Amino acid sequence: MASEHDEGGHDAGAPGGETPDPKTTAAIAAAEAARPQHGETVRVDSWIWAVRLIKTRSLGATACRGGHVRVNGERVKPAHSLRVGDEVRLRHEGRERIVVVKRLIRKRVGAPVAVQCYVDNSPPPPPREATAPAGIRDRGTGRPTKRDRRELERLRGLNAPGRPDGH
């Protein structure tokens, strides 16, 4: 009888009555198992790593120590305890991420599960350069000549000031 009640408390179902992907469902179950028990807390550096906002946990701790992580507007230390509903602001790689905690997890999970652990209120990322990457040379062609370098600079738009032809 207890098994009937074990499955009912989870929100693993897909919205709109769709059947969820079995892999995603299994990953959500694993995340639920990694969830802290009642009364336990999760460190902010561990959580931002677990939901894939940063690549390593040590980078998370360094970001906290450097003042790049704020919880509810306050600068926090790496060991700060998170709660559901907290707003986490992370400045990382030239971009600010603003997320609201929906679920506390300790272990790193896959990206489809990680996005279910927070609400992303971040501004959109800056647009990438629409230009083709200039300067990629064929392997084995050697060092560019002065003429090649000037041609690359012209393609990149790095002409010398006052010299319209770039020479």
pLDDT digits (tens, 9 = 90+) for 57-113: 999 999 999 999 999 999 999 999 999 899 999 998 888 999 999 989 988 988 888
pTM recorded for the entire structure: 0.60
pLDDT above 60 (res 130) = no
User: Are the CB atoms for 114 and 51 separated by under 8 Å?
Assistant: yes
| C-alpha of 85 from chain center | 19
pLDDT at 21: 74
The three-class DSSP label of residue 42 is strand
Confidence of residue 163 (pLDDT cuts 50, 70, 90): low
pLDDT above 80 (res 18) = no
Q: Average pLDDT over the chain, rounded to whole? A: 78
**Alpha carbon distance 15, 117 (integer Å):** 15
Confidence of residue 49 (pLDDT cuts 50, 70, 90): very high
Q: If you search the block for the tokens 């299994």, which residue do you land on? A: 26
Q: Which of 25-34, 85-94, 147-156 has the lowest mean pLDDT?
A: 25-34
pLDDT above 50 (res 2) = no
Dmax (CA) of the chain? 83
Average pLDDT value for residue range 121-146:
75
The three-class DSSP label of residue 68 is coil
